Amino acid sequence: MTILALAVTFVVLTVLGMPIAFVIGSACLVALLISGQSLTLLSHFMYIGVDSFVLVAVPMFVLTGEIMLKGRMTGALTDFADVIVGRIRGGMGHTNIAASVFFAGITGSASADTTALGSVLIPTMAEKGYSRAYATAVTIASSVIGPIIPPSLTFVIYAMAVGGVSVGELFLAGIIPGVLVAIALMVMNYRISLARNYEKRTERYSVGFVLTTVRRSLLVLVMPVLIVVGVLSGDFTATEAAAVASIYALVICMVVTRTLKFRELPDVFFSTAKTSSIMFLLLATSSVLSYILATQGVPTMIANSFQAVTDNKYVFLMLMNISLLMIGLVLDLFPAIIIFGPIFAGIAQSYGVDPVQFGVVFCVNLLIGLNTPPVGSGLFLGAAVGKVRLEDLIREVRPFILMEIVVLLILTYVPFLTTTLPRTVMGFFGG
């Protein structure tokens, strides 16, 4: 009865358009009332959900991204991407995707990628003959690369929720998958661009322009290297790495390039606080939901269901992927990680799946859900940024989602793609 009441409340409030954090909190409140438990549990587990030192990294990484955005460092990255891939058919689409790879080193956030790059590249692509819906589809599809390549807020949240997994190893494990997603999206963009006769850059850039672009880009691209090396060497934790990144961004934008003014800092801090508060509210209410599901025996039921179907690791991974793709249809990224991460990670361990590989596969799977209806936040944000109809955007993004699912299956069944780099580098650092 408790689970039924929770599910009905969740569905009804979601359909009514209530923000997902309040949907989860309200559904938990109803569940506690139905089960006769004390309502003080609501505040208790909300506090537990955000009472973690690791989570200090969240506002720090958000602050880093806001500083870089206000400091107008995205232009250097898009120019750098255009220098590399702009002369291939569908050049601006490739530039969009490549820029997402480079932009991943700034924020590790899909929404920041969509907002920052989309506001610049969607109008540019439209001017060059791409439909706005297609340009927006490329933007939101490539935005999932940001949370895969380090630094990644998604991996930080996953490591906190599951426990026993190194954030540094997850950062390293995400590099190859992020590149594979980018390559897959470029292949699809090339095919579509050929069919629709989209443009490619024909002019050559001067050596001076290329060198200037590379120099400006390196100021940004060195930051993720600084973070990963610092974490792996033990010089600082993931949380401290986020603080170092924000200081680095501040120095670069205010002292080196001087593109960020002191008077702009209040807006930077306000935007950081706003974004971080939304994330923390999601984490807090998701913690309550995890408690209710645990007390109702849901994790045990899920584990028993898998074990009743198969004892084969590869069949389990396929069933797990299908389940997570369905979860991604109705639940946002961070709540899904907090609620289902510990459940599925425990089951995967019983099947002998490498915890680092599983963490990457789990997160990549849910990231695909950002661009799938009915509640994909990436879709709604993309439609707003690109000023396109949601129906048109869904139609255009489908081929790219298919390519991301193909990459997901490769990562699922070719484990060395996610485990080799962490083992090699951690061995070098003595981890």
Does some domain include residue 2?
A: no
Residue 398 in this model has a pLDDT that exceeds 70: yes
Residue 430 in this model has a pLDDT that exceeds 70: no
Does some domain include residue 10?
A: no
**Predicted confidence band of residue 319 (pLDDT cuts 50, 70, 90):** very high
**Predicted confidence band of residue 427 (pLDDT cuts 50, 70, 90):** low
Residue 20 in this model has a pLDDT that exceeds 80: no
Other Cβ atoms less than 10 A from the Cβ of 266: the count is 9
**3-state secondary structure (DSSP) of residue 131:** coil
Residues 83-102, mean pLDDT to the nearest whole number: 86
Residues 108-116, mean pLDDT to the nearest whole number: 75
Which of these ranges, 40-44, 112-116, 353-357, has the smallest mean pLDDT?
A: 112-116
Does some domain include residue 306?
A: yes
Q: Residue 203 carries which DSSP code?
A: S
Does some domain include residue 28?
A: no
Residue 171 belongs to domain spanning: 38-428
User: Which residue in the block uniquely carries the two structure tokens 């590149």?
Assistant: 179
Task: Report CA torsion sign: 65, 67, 72, 77.
Answer: negative
pLDDT of 300 reads: 79
Residues 245-269, mean pLDDT to the nearest whole number: 85
Residue 149 in this model has a pLDDT that exceeds 80: yes
What distance lies between CA 4 and its chain's CA centroid? 30
- Return d(Cα 317, Cα 275) in angstroms, integer: 33
Does some domain include residue 17?
A: no
Residues 419 and 357: beta-carbon distance below 8 Å? yes
Residues 146 and 103: beta-carbon distance below 8 Å? yes
pLDDT of 176 reads: 93
Residues 2-14, mean pLDDT to the nearest whole number: 84
Residues 269-275, mean pLDDT to the nearest whole number: 86
Model-level pTM? 0.84
Residues 94-122, mean pLDDT to the nearest whole number: 79
pLDDT of 206 reads: 80
Does some domain include residue 324?
A: yes
When divided into structural domains, the chain yields a total of: 1
- Return d(Cα 349, Cα 353) in angstroms, integer: 6
The count of C-alpha atoms lying within 13 angstroms of the C-alpha of 250, restricted to the half-sphere facing its C-beta, is: 15
pLDDT of 209 reads: 81
**Predicted confidence band of residue 317 (pLDDT cuts 50, 70, 90):** very high
Residues 109 and 62: beta-carbon distance below 8 Å? yes
pLDDT of 299 reads: 77
Calculate what percentage of the chain has a pLDDT beyond 70: 97
pLDDT of 415 reads: 92
Does some domain include residue 273?
A: yes
Judged on CB neighbours under 10 Å (0-12, 13-18, 19+), 294 is: middle
Other Cβ atoms less than 10 A from the Cβ of 236: the count is 14
pLDDT in tens, 40-92: 888 888 888 888 777 787 888 888 878 877 777 777 778 788 888 888 888 88
The mean predicted confidence, pLDDT, of the chain is: 85
In sequence order, the 6+-apart residues with CB closer than 8 A to the CB of 77 are 99, 102, 103, 217, 220
Does some domain include residue 7?
A: no
**Predicted confidence band of residue 431 (pLDDT cuts 50, 70, 90):** low
Calculate what percentage of the chain has a pLDDT beyond 90: 21
